[in-house]
Every structure is written in C-alpha cells, then in structure tokens.
Amino acid sequence: MDLIKKIPAYIERIPNGGILMTGLDWVLNNAKASSMWYMLFGLACCAIELMATGASRYDFDRLGMIFRATPRQTDLMIVAGTLTLKMAPRVKLLYEQMPDPKYVIAMGGCTMHGGPFYHDSYSVLKGVDKIIPVDIHVAGCPPRPEALLNGCIALQDLIKGEKVGRQRDRPGLRHIDPSTNLPLLVRPDTGLIRPNQILMPDQLRVLS
C-alpha cells in the first residue's frame, strides 16, 4: 500500500512525468468531485433541510451525490445539526470508519460554534471542528438548501485543486491538547471550569 502511495512521486521524476500527473490529477479529482456519496445521518433541525436538498426540488443527485447508509462507502460527512456531547463520540467514530479520502461539511450554526446554544449550554459541542477536521462550513440556522448546494460545489472546487500523492491541506482540528491528544472544551488560558470538563475526556477517551 505504501508503494502505491509513492508511485506519483516517482512518476513526477521521469521527464515529462509532470504532464502525465496533471492529466491523472484531473481525471481522479473530477471523479472524486462528481461522486461524493454522503452519509445518511442527521442530528437535528438542519437534517430536515438536508433531506429537502436530497429531494426533488433541489436534487443532490444532479451533482452525483447519493446517500449511503454505511460509513464504509461514503466520501462525505454532512454534519447536519446540533452535536451534543453525548453524540460527539459516535460522530467521531463514524468519521473514523470512513475510508480515505474523506471530507466533512459542517452544516448550520450549531456545527460551527454551537449556534443558538453558544451561551450557557452544558450539553452541546461548540463546533464540530473540535473533534473532526471540517472542510467546508455552511452558515445559517438552518442553511437553505441552496446554501448547502453551494457548500457542496465549493467542496468540489476544493477537491479539484488536490494533487495525487500529496498530503492535502486540511483545516485541522481546533484546540487539541497535545498531552492527551483530546479536544479541549475548556479554554486553556483561563482554566475556566465548566461542567463539561468532567464529561468530555471520559466520553472521548473511548475513541482515541
């Protein structure tokens, strides 16, 4: 498997190999971009909007996007809705079960910073990019289907800019504690203690 990953690097070294790789990049990226199968799951109100986008008026299938129920066959995770702390380990597990290359669209305000639950919520994960790397954020509460489609097209553009065999630039995770390798939900500088400090590491340790 490692050898296969190195092949592009070897090809680039032979004369004119760069051109070959550009063609290959084009084919593979277009294939990946036009067949993003998304995972069939929804967490809260945004999921309704996700369903609407899949249905006849907006029709995800135009972009070649169909849902698969099992993470093993999906390329794209659309986190649609409020991610509670209790659900967070499951979503991370699902993300880890997806085969590479995998992409994440965070849909709705809840998935960016907690949305309506930003203040004083003990149970909501304030931003899914604390546990999984997010490629595209779609703003709104909920975002309209057009906005979601726009997000998907933006993701397609992102995929089309990739290079085979190169590690891609990912918007990483936020606030990872280097010592435990766990996401921090408490601001490390103030050391403010909130109820979720007790809750979180226990729940997430199961996974890491």
Partner 1 sequence: MPEWVQFSAGKHFQDLIAHLSGRSVPEILVMPIMLAVILGFICGSSLILIWAERKVAARIQNRVGPMMTGPRKLAEFSMWTGGLLQTAADAIKLLVKELIIPSKTDPVPFIAAPVLIVTVCVTAFVVIPFGPALSVSDLNIGVVHVVSISSLTVLSIVMAGWSSNSKYSLLGGLRSAAQMLSYEIPLIFALLGPILLAGGLSMQKMVLAQREYGCWFFLPSLLGFLIYYVASIAEVNRPPFDIPEAESELVAGYVSEYSGMMFAMFFLAEFANMFLVCSVAATVFLGGWLVPFMAVPEQMTPGYIALGTLVFFAKTSFLVFIMMWIRWTFPRVRPDHLMNLGWKYLFPLSLLNLLICAGVAVLKDVYKLNGWGVSLASLGALVFVLLLLQVVRVPRPTAFLEKV
Q: Which does 144 bind (CB under 5 to 8 A by kind): partner 1, ligand SF4, none?
A: none
CB of 12: closest distance to partner 1 in angstroms?
A: 18
- Tell me the C-alpha distance between 37 and 60, whole Å: 10
Smallest CA-to-CA distance from 63 within 168, 146, 164 is with: 146
Q: Which residue type does 101 have?
A: P
Instruction: Calculate ∠ Cα 12-18-22, nearest 5°.
Output: 120
Tell me whether residue 36 or residue 88 sits nearer to partner 1 (CB atom).
36
- Our finding on whether 145 is near ligand SF4 (CB under 6 A) is no
Q: Where are the alpha helices (DSSP H) in the chain?
A: 2-13, 17-34, 45-54, 88-97, 109-113, 145-160, 195-205
Contact 125, 92 (CB under 8 A): no
Tell me whether residue 53 or residue 82 sits nearer to partner 1 (CB atom).
53
Per CB under 8 A, residues contacting partner 1 are 27-28, 30-32, 34-35, 40, 55-56, 59, 61-64, 66, 68-70, 72-73, 75, 97, 99-101
Tell me whether residue 21 or residue 43 sits nearer to ligand SF4 (CB atom).
43
Q: Which does 99 bind (CB under 5 to 8 A by kind): ligand SF4, partner 1, none?
A: partner 1
CB atoms within 10 A of CB 182: 19
Residues 95-124 that bind ligand SF4 (CB under 6 A): 108-110, 115-116
CB of 149: closest distance to partner 1 in angstroms?
A: 11
The bridge status of strand 176-177 relative to strand 182-183 is antiparallel
Q: Which residues bind ligand SF4 (CB under 6 A)?
A: 44-46, 81-82, 108-110, 115-116, 141-142
